[in-house]
Amino acid sequence: MNNKTYFIGLMSGTSLDGIDVAIVDIQSVQNSKHHSIALIASQSVVLPDNIKSQLIHLSFEQNVNMQTLGETGVQLAQLFAQSINALLAAQGIDKSQIMAIGSHGLTIRHQPYGAFPFSLQITDPSLLAQLTGIDVVSDFRNMDIAVGGQGAPLVPAFHQALLGETSQGCIVLNLGGIANITVLNPGADVIGYDTGPANTLLDVWCEKHTHKAYDKNGIWASTGRVIPELLTLMLAEPYFAEVYPKSTGKELFNLDWLFNKIDEYQTISSTKLNKKLIPPEDIQRTLLELTVVSAALQIKQFTHTHTLFVCGGGVHNQCLVEQLQQQLPAHQIKATDEVGINSDALEAMAFAWLAYCRVHLISANSPSVTGAKSKVVMGSWYSAKSEKVS
Ligand X SMILES: Nc1ncnc2c1ncn2[C@@H]1O[C@H](COP(=O)(O)OP(=O)(O)O)[C@@H](O)[C@H]1O
Residue 367 touching Mg ion (CB under 5 A):
no
Residue 15 counted as an annotated binding residue: yes
DSSP secondary structure, 211-277, as one string = -SSS-GGGHHHHTS---HHHHHHHHTSGGGGSPSS----TTTSSHHHHHHHHHHHHHH-TT---GGG
Distance CA 195, CA 246 (A): 9
Does 13 bind Mg ion (CB under 5 A)? Our answer is yes
Q: Is 17 annotated as a binding residue?
A: yes
- CB nearer to ligand X: pick between 177 and 224: 177
347 binds, among ligand X, Mg ion, none (CB under 5 to 8 A by kind): ligand X
Q: Which stretch binds Mg ion (CB under 5 A): 13-21, 50-58, 237-245, 282-290?
A: 13-21
Q: How many residues bind ligand X (CB under 6 A)?
A: 20
> Strands 6-11 and 98-103: what pairing?
parallel
Rounded to the nearest angstrom, the gap between the alpha carbon of residue 179 and the centroid of all alpha carbons in its chain is 8
Residue 105 binds ligand X (CB under 6 A): no
Q: 181, 192 in Cβ contact below 8 A? A: yes
Find which of ligand X, Mg ion, none residue 314 binds, CB within 5 to 8 Å per kind. Answer: ligand X
Site for ligand X in 191-220 (CB under 6 A): 199, 202-203, 214-218
Contact 80, 382 (CB under 8 A): no
Contact of 176 with 186, CB cutoff 8 Å: no
Residue 237 or 347 with smaller CB distance to Mg ion: 347
Q: Which stretch binds ligand X (CB under 6 A): 28-36, 102-110, 122-130, 309-317?
A: 309-317
Are the C-beta atoms of 291 and 175 separated by less than 8 Å? yes
10-29 residues near ligand X, rule: CB under 6 A: 13-15, 17
Contact between 316 and ligand X by CB under 6 A: the answer reads yes
CA-closest candidate to residue 356, choices 174, 186, 157: 157
151 assigned to a ligand binding site: no
Annotated binding site for ATP: 13-20
Instruction: Give contact residues for Mg ion (rule: CB under 5 A).
Output: 13, 15, 17
